[in-house]
Amino acid sequence: MKSECAAIDALLDERRRFAPPPGFVARARVADPAVYAEAEDWEAYWERWARRLHWFSPWSTALEWSPPDARWFQEGTLNACYNCIDRHLPEGAGRPALLWEGEPGDRRRFTYGELATEVERFAGVLKSVGVGRGDRVAIYLPMIPEAVFAMLACARIGAPHSVVFAGFSPDSLADRINDAGAEVLVTADGGYRRGKVIALKRNADRAAARCPGLRSVVVVRRGQGVGSDGVEMTVGRDHWYHELAQSVRDGCSAEPMGAEDLLYILYTSGTTGKPKGVVHTTGGYMTQVYATTRTVLDLRQDDVYWCTADVGWVTGHSYVVYGPLAAGAAVVIYEGAPDWPDRGRFWEICERYGVSVFYTAPTAIRAFMQWGDEWPAARELGSIRLLGTVGEPINPEAWIWYRRAIGGDRCPIVDTWWQTETGAMMISPLPGVTHARPGSACRPLPGIDVDLLNDGGESVKAGYLAITRPWPSMLRGIWGDRPRFLETYWSKWDGIYFAGDGAKVDDDGYLWLLGRVDDVLNVAGHRIGTMEVESALVEHEAVAEAAVVGVEHPVKGQGIAAFVTLMGGREGSDELAAELRGHVADSIGAIARPEVVLFAADLPKTRSGKIMRRLLGDIAAGRAIGDTTTLAEPAVVRGVRERYREAEGG
Ligand code: ATP
Ligand code: MG
């Protein structure tokens, strides 16, 4: 089937690779296929979910839609923190809320009752440094319980937070503080990553030097007081959290917030350029996050749930903090690296806490796959009943491995497509309802409508992913940049959201995400999705991870350069490169045969773990490397560039 879409065309024949594995039995508990039919009246569907939250006062209208501006649950008032804590009390006071483990092995746990105390104290501290309703607070913390306390404390007093991932540099932090106009920063003396102490306060000081509007810095002492010795406190500006906390006397009740009041600003990871401050409000966001936590992650109060995302990303906001706590589950939080002290750390944690629902990213799954089955096999993972993935398209090969090696071939996998901008999951199978297919995010969730469109706005089988009607947790804007909001998401078609991803739909209505529209290749007039070529490469037993980009080609216009990392124990060679090129040609067609296959020790990734194809494209084209502020390991780029020059013989 050919579409007339300019950036993405008919992508591939689907015969191969994507065949579903032998039927599997879901062990989830929400199994009710009727939910799709129930959601046909979609506004009523979202209202039903909204009613399951606690509201101080009811809304008058479900939705006012004046594209691209949506106002959900107008006049209703609620508090996000209240919904995560207070409404579970007093009955749930003794139930576990946070199960925390530091990288060095220190552990802390908090019941819902204790969480309430901690968050109220944190809120009191924020008030004591002058934070009030509407004031933005920047949070730059490692994955310690205080990161959750700080976010919920902000929500409690109606101060929007702007969480900045602790791996970001002082410059990135300063840009985000200034853009959000935050006057207060919450940070820590340090945190652990791969056995090293990250000197967060020192980074924060460097950032603060560039932030004229910053009045106060609240410094949390990380458990063992790591790096506290070297911490310099600027008198008048900097305060130790534990010292301020001593003078907090009273509890702090939750502010009733308007449904459309700002809950937070979150800057996107920047895979595609300058970070944008995505704005989320309270009522619609909490409604959709809660609904998807219940229906997709199937979370209940008796679940022990672990989402490995950092709170610095949207997944950490929606599915480490707001969703699972609203559902009353026990949330596992781990501070450090998955390979510290060894490559079995994640499975050790799953075993120790009896994790029942596990949610991670394809990039992590591909790393586990490369490290080998022996690590998960050494642990008892029978408590896991549901697996999830988010962040990138998952290669079918990785999906099948995840299902077998982690899920023991008994757990459903929910491949959830969504974005910082969508706030919550949008496309995903429902466990126990959907017969999933490896590599497909399946169908839009109940209450959500998407389409694949071409430039002219016509429905096609392969095209741009478009969201055709408003949804509760949609972004309400880009902080301080209305033109960019309109241009980025709403300028392609009238009143329809442009997601920036390409996708195709098969005859059964299953959606297959193909990657970002900007990454789509055009080889001799054929549109080829990066995802398809990468999945063909990963399918080869020698390959752990692959990224492909277009390179200029005198005849074809564009040729394909493939960067691959190999499975443990495998070595790159000219023979293997030739074999891989042939393998892609066999599985997709000669048109997709890469011009060059390059073996790299590692691929450049954003700090959220996504492959940065833009940089690989620059390398392959011999261009100067663009903005790398969001890159996790700049040295990887040097390594890849050197290998590429060698391979090119220059
Ligand atoms: P930036 O917008 O700054 O470039 P980003 O898009 O990487 O950064 P996120 O909002 O975290 O930041 O990621 C959303 C994107 O991740 C989606 O647009 C899509 O490209 C990809 N993605 C997320 N989940 C999936 C999934 N399940 N399948 C396919 N792609 C996914
Ligand atoms: Mg994006």
Q: Are 438 and 396 in contact (CB under 8 A)?
A: yes
Q: Are 188 and 222 in contact (CB under 8 A)?
A: yes
Query: Which of residues 451, 470, 502 is at a domain's end?
Result: 502
Note whether residue 465 is domain-resident. yes
Centre of ligand 1 to C-alpha 231, Å, is 36
Closest residue by Cα to atom 7, ligand 1, is 271
Instruction: Enumerate helices (H) and strands (E) in the chain, giving the number of each.
Output: 20, 30
Instruction: Give me the pLDDT at residue 225, please.
Output: 56
496 and 532 part of one domain: no
Query: Taking each helix axis from N to C terminus, what angle separates 145-157 and 112-128, rounded to the nearest 10 degrees?
Result: 60
Note whether residue 42 is domain-resident. yes
* Count of domains observed in the chain: 2
Query: Tokens 């022990």 sit at which residue?
Result: 304
Q: How far is CA 176 from CA 269, 273, 546, 633, in A?
A: 12, 14, 32, 20
Task: Report residue 179: phi and psi, to 5°.
Answer: -65, -40
180 and 321 part of one domain: yes
346-384 per-position pLDDT tens digit: 999 999 999 999 999 999 999 999 999 999 999 999 999
Number of Cβ atoms within 10 Å of the Cβ of 351 = 18
556 and 483 part of one domain: no
The average confidence (pLDDT) of the chain is 90
Task: Report residue 150: phi and psi, to 5°.
Answer: -65, -45
28-77 per-position pLDDT tens digit: 334 456 788 889 999 999 999 999 999 999 999 999 999 999 999 999 99
550 and 491 part of one domain: no
Nearest Cα neighbor of 434 from 14, 32, 18 is 32
What is the spatial distance between Cα 86 and Cα 92, in angstroms, rounded to a whole number? Answer: 9
106 and 234 part of one domain: yes
Domain region containing 344: 6-502
447-480 per-position pLDDT tens digit: 999 999 999 999 999 899 999 999 999 999 999 9
Note whether residue 45 is domain-resident. yes
What the block records as the tokens of 326 is 């609203």
What is the spatial distance between Cα 319 and Cα 424, in angstroms, rounded to a whole number? Answer: 9
Determine whether 181 is exposed, middle or buried from the number of CB atoms within 10 Å of its CB (0-12, 13-18, 19+).
Answer: middle
487 and 584 part of one domain: no
Whichever domain contains 589, its CATH number is 3.30.300.30
495 and 528 part of one domain: no
Query: Which of residues 502, 533, 560 is at a domain's end?
Result: 502
Closest atom of ligand 1 to CA, residue 313: 11
Pick the ligand that lies closest to the CA of residue 309.
Answer: 1
Note whether residue 519 is domain-resident. no
Pocket of ligand 1 (CB under 6 A): 268-272, 275, 313-314, 390-393, 415-417, 419-420, 441, 499-501, 513, 516, 608, 610
Note whether residue 509 is domain-resident. no
Instruction: Give me the pLDDT at residue 3, please.
Output: 38
Closest atom of ligand 1 to CA, residue 441: 27
Q: Are 55 and 292 in contact (CB under 8 A)?
A: no
Nearest Cα neighbor of 182 from 156, 149, 218, 146 is 218
Q: Are 308 and 360 in contact (CB under 8 A)?
A: yes
Mean pLDDT per 10-residue interval, the chain, length 650 residues: 39 32 39 77 97 98 98 98 98 96 96 98 98 98 98 98 93 94 97 91 96 98 66 96 94 97 90 82 98 96 96 97 98 96 98 97 94 96 96 92 95 96 97 89 96 96 95 98 96 97 92 87 82 90 93 85 90 94 90 91 85 85 69 71 68
Say how far residue 25 (Cα) sits from the centre of its chain. Answer: 27
The preferred substitution site among 417, 465, 487, 488 for testing ligand 1, maximizing ligand atoms within 8 Å of CB, is: 417
Closest residue by Cα to atom 28, ligand 1, is 393
Instruction: Give me the pLDDT at residue 53, please.
Output: 98
The preferred substitution site among 271, 279, 318, 440 for testing ligand 1, maximizing ligand atoms within 8 Å of CB, is: 271
Note whether residue 534 is domain-resident. yes
pTM over 0.75: yes
Angle among Cα 508, 3, 7 to the nearest 5 degrees reads: 115
542 and 635 part of one domain: yes
Closest residue by Cα to atom 26, ligand 1, is 417
Closest residue by Cα to atom 23, ligand 1, is 391
Which residues neighbour 635 within 8 Å (Cβ) at sequence distance 6 or greater?
Answer: none
- Give the residues across from 66 on adjacent strands: 69
What is the spatial distance between Cα 157 and Cα 135, in angstroms, rounded to a whole number? Answer: 10
460 and 557 part of one domain: no
453 and 584 part of one domain: no
Note whether residue 518 is domain-resident. no
β-bridge pairing 277-281 and 477-478: antiparallel
Nearest Cα neighbor of 204 from 224, 225, 230, 242 is 230
Whichever domain contains 480, its CATH number is 3.40.50.12780
Nearest Cα neighbor of 416 from 549, 511, 280 is 511
Q: Are 592 and 585 in contact (CB under 8 A)?
A: yes
Cα dihedral sign, 176-427-519-601 = positive
What is the spatial distance between Cα 597 and Cα 648, in angstroms, rounded to a whole number? Answer: 11
58 and 135 part of one domain: yes
Question: What is the DSSP-derived secondary structure letter of residue 417?
Answer: B
Determine whether 10 is exposed, middle or buried from the number of CB atoms within 10 Å of its CB (0-12, 13-18, 19+).
Answer: middle
Instruction: Give me the pLDDT at residue 223, please.
Output: 60
111 and 183 part of one domain: yes
Q: Are 469 and 449 in contact (CB under 8 A)?
A: yes
Query: Which of residues 502, 535, 555 is at a domain's end?
Result: 502
Determine whether 128 is exposed, middle or buried from the number of CB atoms within 10 Å of its CB (0-12, 13-18, 19+).
Answer: middle
Note whether residue 507 is domain-resident. no
